[in-house]
Structure 1
Amino acid sequence: MSYDDLMAMRPGVTFDARGEAQVLVWAPKAEKLQLQFGEEAKMLDMEPKDYGFWTLQTRALWPGDRYRFLLDGKGPYPDPATLYQPEGVHGPSEAFDLQEYEWSDRNWKNPSMKDYIIYELHTGTFTEEGTFAAVEAKLDHLVELGVNAIELMPVSQFAGDRNWGYDGVFPYSTQNSYGGPAMLQQLVDACHEKGIAVILDMVYNHLGPEGNTLGHFGHYFTDKYHTPWGDAINFDDAWSDAVRHYFVQNALMWFRDFHIDALRLDAVHAIKDFSPVHILQEIRQQVDALVRETGREHYLIVEMDLNDTRFVKPIEAGGYGMHAQWVDEFHHALRVSSGQERNGYYVDFDGVASLGKSFRDAYVFDGLYSDHRKRKFGIKADGIPGQQFIVFSQNHDHIGNRMLGERTSQLVSFEMQKLLAGTVFVSPFVPLLFMGEEWAEPNPFQYFVSHTEEELAEAVRKGRKSEFAAFHLEGEAPDPMAVSTFENSKLQWALIDQPPHGTMLQYYRQWIVLRKSQQLLRECDRNGLSVEVFGEKELLCIQRVWGRQHLVAFLNFSKSSQEVSLPFEHLSWHKLMASSDSAWNGPLEMPEQAEAGALTVAAESITVYANIINS
């Protein structure tokens, strides 16, 4: 079997149309590899191939069978590319036929990136049940809200039943406590039926600690580089071809076999790869080939602590070709503008001045000196369209990384919450919401794990405490291992019909209606945007133009009402949204129509007017 033939195969166990199992394992460290399966622990010898691969074709293994591998008689270990771990990370793998599900989404079309309105959720805490089936039962709420894309925090198998998901150890698997792979396929199908795209959060920068057995099989890790989680995944050292194959095929599997619409790749700045073709670029090239084959559009979104446009520039322009990235700096500037404390990595941000810069330039630090980093940081994002930047007023990280996990609803006033939401929607970028923010959920979202190894659990507790040293916080962080920490982080669905939560929900719905119906807001156009910053007043004036439509937004972050001016004497303006209106329990009703000139806007408010420019 040639090198190219091996690289075209999918790792793990797959089944052909006749029901025959094909098994591919990369285990260059083994001199003998055996498949152990069934209640009788039957053994089948794997056949060695070149480059450390082992293969097997058999009719003895069927979907639903439990199996493991013996390496030179040691083990047994789960499949590195296991699709399902019904007994958790330490148990056997279960053979699963990816082709068995009958899809009903033949007519589904993935929305364009500029039209995404993303809703991030954690499967375990989104509902009381914490399963894929329970998420499916809440889809009508999301349809009524108006979002058209959900982003699932990582669902690859992790230790225990409680985890954010970033400690997964089997990238091909689907968490057993959530319902496993069949239920994920069903959820995606149901989402598509209701017009909702599905983004899956994947971690390609490290694997979790408990149950991580890949190192027994092959050179998946390298000590050439180190990351916050230990040795880096081996993307460019000796033996790295097979490791790259493992992760490229993983991305393709989610798109091809689970009909996932986009992957959000976690912390790609921690991926260490100095190959001529970066692993992200290779993934993009392979995804493009899949798109040409299937006709279905798929996106790659990255989170990174780098203001580096190489990641989002097209491959032909020397970039890695990622379709979009999260912009943490927009969030940081927005948070400081709202009057929250400036500590840790927030010390670099100067309220509305930084927020105005992020509106204009996406990156706040684009070659400027960062006092937090003690060096210049970032490059300019000129020429990168707005749909390649995803912004938010809160997400899992910036809530859960607080010591007590407080949401924005517990940190700022009701009026300020409305202003923060409106700021995201009026931006020329792609908006993202975090589950529950649409009704001002008061429960926290805290950091939780359920490791079964006590030494590891204690290490997590200590690491959590030291993490807050940079923020000079006193007190005790909630115990990540405690069941109560997990339970306290669940959404309270009963609140959505109660004041003021119901009002906030209607407010979010109206913003999403505007985002969809107003072409100027739909078009993520950075060119037709201007920003005026009034630092002493803690006020921003945002103007956006698209075609013949002109929009003016006043963002007042101060605790006082402010006098502002609508521009252009010859124009008359109509109100699109005012967070201070009585419909949203606000203190000041803004006029439906206004002439150019002086206008008073309420404290902690966003006021938006628009008109049609006469040619």
Structure 2
Amino acid sequence: MFKIEETGPQIQGNDVRFRIDLPGIEQEKGFSAKVYVINKRGQFDVNIAADVYELKPEIASPDEDELWGEIARNRWCSDLIQMESGTYLYRFEISGPEQGNGNKVRSLYFGDPCARETDAGVFSVFHVPVENPAPWEDGTFKLPPLDEVILYELNVAEFGGTFAGVAERIPYLLSLGINVIELLPINSIAEPTRWGYMPIFYFAPEERFGGPAGFRHLVQECHRNGIAVILDMVYAHTDRMFPYQIGYERFFQLWYDDHYSDEDGLHHAPNPLVSAYDNFGKKNDWRMQSAQEFFAAVNAFWLREYHIDGFRYDHVNGYLDRKPIERNGGIDWYSQENRPTFLSLQDLSKATYQESRNYPRFLSTPEEASRIIQIGEDLRESAYQLSPASASAINGCWEKRLSDVAKNMAVGDILLGDLGKELLLTDERFDEMGYTGEKNVGDDTIPAMVVQFIESHDECRLFYMIQNQKDCGDTGFEYRNGLDGQPWWKLQPYAIALMTSVGIPMLWAGQEFAENTGLTEGGMVRVRGFRPLHWDYFYNVESSTDGATVLPLVNLYRKLGNLRRKHAALRATRENAREEYCNLEDKVLVYRRWKNEEVLIIILNFSDQEREIPVPFGHTGIWVDILEASYDNVNEPYSISVSDSSTHELVSIPANFGRILRLES
């Protein structure tokens, strides 16, 4: 069994013992291993050489578990070394017979696959003596119920620069009604301009963002302010510099499938994690129990050590848990026939769910289900991932269909008839999959909700498409500088739509102030570019009758966030939502949301003209626009009296805006 606590430098006072698991690296087959160590102060001093220590295979005690999954873990250790106090960098080297010819060669230097802290390059970091972090002070924090979540996706580098920079902007997030942030990958990576989707060190927060101390501070501050933190984790593939790839590549070929010779069909590859299959990077092999144990330990580590509140699993439809089907000399990784079995995701999510039950922040009471958030990225397949058929503990899934509709509307300056269907999740695929909004995990029943978005880190900004009437194509990164004279107001009905949709609304950082970066659809440039937010867009560039100094779009998102948290009908399920009226020519859409005694009617106008809309209210009484009423400068918000529930009443809707009408009496 893989155990993270049995890896990495073992430090007692000023005594250090290095430990690393190297499956397949056996002394009797001609292998040896070393660790190179240097005080960080001397890292760039040519006159200071690293200290080199030999590692030896550990002799396990008779009662000790020597396996990592199905393979021998082969732990190599140094002698106990006395070191001066300080911060040290270290990396490993293997020597052994080269694949193919048997000549003795040395590996490239590689870091500790279980490093808890890193530095520039592939250096791992430790401190002598151990630096104990300050105690946590978030004992009263509880995750919000899933139906109350308003999610905000952000890239630390682009949003605040560092973990501290993100923490400084917590008041801003609170003003938007945000109660969960989803961080793009923060694991240490090779190239600082990458978004983080080529991981090297799974247990180490990125040092350029502030490292372990900086990340603990961010989580602590978020919890202090009632905000949960979830991490985007990349388990489908790795970077070439991942230690179990770069350290092994001169000695062993990576495996595909034809190496299964064990009579039980077990995968006894010499590499514990990485396969020969390649898509974005070498694929981690989820058919191996060693890979399953490793990534379950990664999740447990972040829950325990950093009080993380959940995970977004990147590219789960790329998990290698079955032999892919090859046709015409290639593999279509996105075909239905090459979709995973998802047994890998079932086991990981369930193990993580059970682990979460050990921590009070996930439990409103000890008897209730855990509130841990586990989101799968399986674009356009949320009906499956969230249905009982998936047999997993995944309780959220990115649903790209709403985003697809919004982008096509923006490019064509039109209203599409599918908008209402995607906002309200009335698509028959949910019924066909048996989606009920709930799943069972053991004896617990958990909610399961679609993550709705109109923008994400992975595509062009909506406003770029409105400005340019096209996608970005292959031009890399592009944007029109400044909002002066630009029609940011055309984003307003999209904002109202998102924040009144069925599911969990997610904002991609900057969409609330009309960020307008274009992003190429293909090529490595799309994940290598730095897209710093234009915080100057946040400020209003035009005169305003109410003296506002903030872009009105920001204030609209703030109003919508607060309204969603206040009104349960806006958080109700798809059974409590219905489209009432759609006019594609006039670009208007009307739909109803309700829960218990509360009834709301949402009206959207995507046109540049004020419209009068025939609305089937269905209830008599006074209907008040609670969106307009939420503005401080409005004394008498729009209202309409309905005396006949069977008739349609005309309602005026401002251009590029909408109304949220609530039955008050």
TM-score normalised over the length of structure 1 = 0.78
Q: 1:591 aligns with which of 629, 638, 641?
A: 638
Q: Distance in 2 between matches of 1:162 and 1:139?
A: 24
Deviation at 1:566, TM superposition (A): 4.6
Q: Does 1:422 align with 2:496?
A: yes
Deviation at 1:421, TM superposition (A): 0.8
| Contact 1:555/1:605, CA 8 A, preserved across alignment | yes
| Contact 1:132/1:183, CA 8 A, preserved across alignment | yes
User: Number of residues paired by the alignment?
Assistant: 542
Deviation at 1:327, TM superposition (A): 0.9
Deviation at 1:177, TM superposition (A): 1.3
Segments of structure 2 that go 5 or more residues without pairing to the other structure are: 39-49, 60-65, 97-105, 249-270, 323-339, 363-371, 439-446, 462-470, 543-549, 644-648
* Cα distance per residue 1:145-164 (max 9 Å; x no partner): 32111111111112232211
Specify the alignment match of 2:257 in structure 1.
none
| Contact 1:566/1:599, CA 8 A, preserved across alignment | no
Specify the alignment match of 2:425 in structure 1.
361
Q: Does 1:45 align with 2:56?
A: yes
Q: 1:105 to 1:462 in 2, by over 3 A?
A: closer
| Contact 1:562/1:603, CA 8 A, preserved across alignment | no
Q: 1:306 to 1:199 in 2, by over 3 A?
A: same
Q: Distance in 1 between matches of 2:82 and 2:576?
A: 60
Specify the alignment match of 2:275 in structure 1.
222
Q: 1:573 to 1:245 in 2, by over 3 A?
A: same
Q: Distance in 2 between matches of 1:543 and 1:189?
A: 39
Specify the alignment match of 2:552 in structure 1.
503
Q: Distance in 1 between matches of 2:82 and 2:572?
A: 51
Counterpart mapping for 1:91-110 below 5 A? 91-94=123-126, 100-110=133-143
Q: Distance in 1 between matches of 2:344 and 2:401?
A: 25
- 1:195 aligned counterpart, secondary structure: coil
Specify the alignment match of 2:416 in structure 1.
352
TM-score normalised over the length of structure 2 = 0.73
Q: Distance in 2 between matches of 1:433 and 1:365?
A: 26
* Larger helix percent: 1
What amino acid sits opposite 2:651 in the alignment?
A: L
Deviation at 1:264, TM superposition (A): 0.8
Shifted more, 497-506 versus 265-274: the winner is 497-506
Segments of structure 1 that go 5 or more residues without pairing to the other structure are: 1-5, 343-349, 368-377, 448-460, 468-479
Q: Does 1:334 align with 2:406?
A: yes
Q: Distance in 1 between matches of 2:637 and 2:318?
A: 48
* Cα distance per residue 1:580-602 (max 9 Å; x no partner): 99969xxxx97244436111223
| Contact 1:530/1:543, CA 8 A, preserved across alignment | yes
Shifted more, 180-189 versus 273-282: the winner is 273-282
Q: 1:426 to 1:71 in 2, by over 3 A?
A: same
- 1:65 aligned counterpart, secondary structure: strand
Counterpart mapping for 1:525-540 below 5 A? 525-532=573-580, 533-540=582-589
* Cα distance per residue 1:530-551 (max 9 Å; x no partner): 1133334332211011001110
What amino acid sits opposite 1:272 in the alignment?
A: L
| Contact 1:564/1:599, CA 8 A, preserved across alignment | yes
What amino acid sits opposite 2:602 in the alignment?
A: A
Specify the alignment match of 1:199 in structure 2.
230
Q: Does 1:607 align with 2:659?
A: yes
Shifted more, 79-88 versus 14-23: the winner is 14-23
| Contact 2:2/2:297, CA 8 A, preserved across alignment | no
Q: 1:312 aligns with which of 386, 390, 403?
A: 386
Q: Distance in 1 between matches of 2:215 and 2:171?
A: 17
Q: Distance in 1 between matches of 2:555 and 2:281?
A: 46
Q: Distance in 2 between matches of 1:65 and 1:45?
A: 21
Q: Does 1:296 align with 2:328?
A: no
Q: 1:57 to 1:71 in 2, by over 3 A?
A: closer
Q: 1:272 to 1:23 in 2, by over 3 A?
A: same
| Contact 1:580/1:602, CA 8 A, preserved across alignment | no
What amino acid sits opposite 1:291 in the alignment?
A: S
What amino acid sits opposite 2:512 in the alignment?
A: E
Q: 2:515 aligns with which of 438, 441, 449?
A: 441
Q: 1:21 to 1:111 in 2, by over 3 A?
A: farther
Q: Does 1:490 align with 2:551?
A: no
Q: Distance in 1 between matches of 2:603 and 2:346?
A: 40
Q: Distance in 1 between matches of 2:19 and 2:373?
A: 29
Q: 1:408 to 1:288 in 2, by over 3 A?
A: farther
Specify the alignment match of 2:63 in structure 1.
none
Q: Distance in 2 between matches of 1:67 and 1:154?
A: 24
Q: 1:318 to 1:269 in 2, by over 3 A?
A: closer
Q: Distance in 2 between matches of 1:173 and 1:77?
A: 15
Deviation at 1:423, TM superposition (A): 0.5
Deviation at 1:268, TM superposition (A): 0.8
Q: 1:7 aligns with which of 2, 5, 8?
A: 2
| Contact 1:310/1:319, CA 8 A, preserved across alignment | no
Q: Does 1:179 align with 2:210?
A: yes
Q: 1:413 aligns with which of 487, 502, 512?
A: 487
| Contact 1:78/1:93, CA 8 A, preserved across alignment | no
Q: Distance in 2 between matches of 1:161 and 1:307?
A: 32
Q: 1:277 to 1:590 in 2, by over 3 A?
A: closer
Q: 2:284 aligns with which of 222, 233, 236?
A: 233
Q: Does 1:158 align with 2:198?
A: no
| Contact 2:240/2:282, CA 8 A, preserved across alignment | no
What amino acid sits opposite 1:69 in the alignment?
A: F
Counterpart mapping for 1:93-172 below 5 A? 93-94=125-126, 100-127=133-160, 130-172=161-203
Q: 1:21 to 1:548 in 2, by over 3 A?
A: farther
Considering only aligned residues, what root-mean-square deviation do their CA atoms show, in Å?
3.6
- 2:562 aligned counterpart, secondary structure: helix
Q: 2:90 aligns with which of 43, 59, 67?
A: 67
Deviation at 1:406, TM superposition (A): 4.8
What amino acid sits opposite 2:504 in the alignment?
A: V
